[in-house]
Amino acid sequence: MTATKHHFRAPGLLFLALLLLLPVLPMPLQAGEALVSGQYLSGGGQDLQLRITVAAPAPSTLIVIQNLPPGTAIESASPAFHQYDASKGEGKWLLTQVSPGRYLLSLRLPRPVPPGAISGEIRYKDPASGRLTHLPIRP
């Protein structure tokens, strides 16, 4: 019995055509890239907005904590907060069934707050490592 040697040859144009026709899939994160990021679109005033960007693979749940000056009331919030302690100025949101993309958290206050008087934090569990991450956010 003799062994036959097979030579691999690239299929050329067929291979190239398949590569061009494949859908573009989200690229996995590279080392040092954040799975979740947050940015204040307005860092003071009466209307506050926090944009949250989530990359793939998305954590299933985000906990967002918004710190305002103690005693500050909230007229409205979108999405609605789950808990707010006005004496501490701390609001909490639990965002579930999160998928990759952008989310906007908006607050309307009865009185403006000075720029820099707010801060926030996003907490999530990395789906790949299971590690709990605390991401501070400043205007």
Burial (0-12, 13-18, 19+ Cβ within 10 Å), 29 = middle
HSE toward the beta carbon, residue 99, CA cutoff 13 A: 1
Q: Name the pTM for this structure.
A: 0.75
DSSP per residue, 69-99: -TT---SEEESPPSEEETTTTEEEEEEES--
The tens-digit pLDDT sequence of the chain (139 residues) is 433 333 444 444 433 333 333 343 344 444 446 899 999 998 899 999 999 999 999 999 999 999 999 999 999 999 999 999 999 999 999 999 999 999 999 999 999 999 889 999 999 999 999 999 999 999 9
Tell me the fold of 34-119: Immunoglobulin-like (2.60.40)
Identify any residues that bridge with 119 across adjacent strands, giving them in sequence order.
67
* Structure confidence at residue 42 (pLDDT): 84
* Domain locations along the chain: 34-119
Distance of CA 97 to the CA centre of its chain: 12
* Structure confidence at residue 43 (pLDDT): 81
Burial (0-12, 13-18, 19+ Cβ within 10 Å), 35 = buried
* Structure confidence at residue 67 (pLDDT): 97
- Euclidean distance between CA atoms 70 and 75, whole angstroms: 15
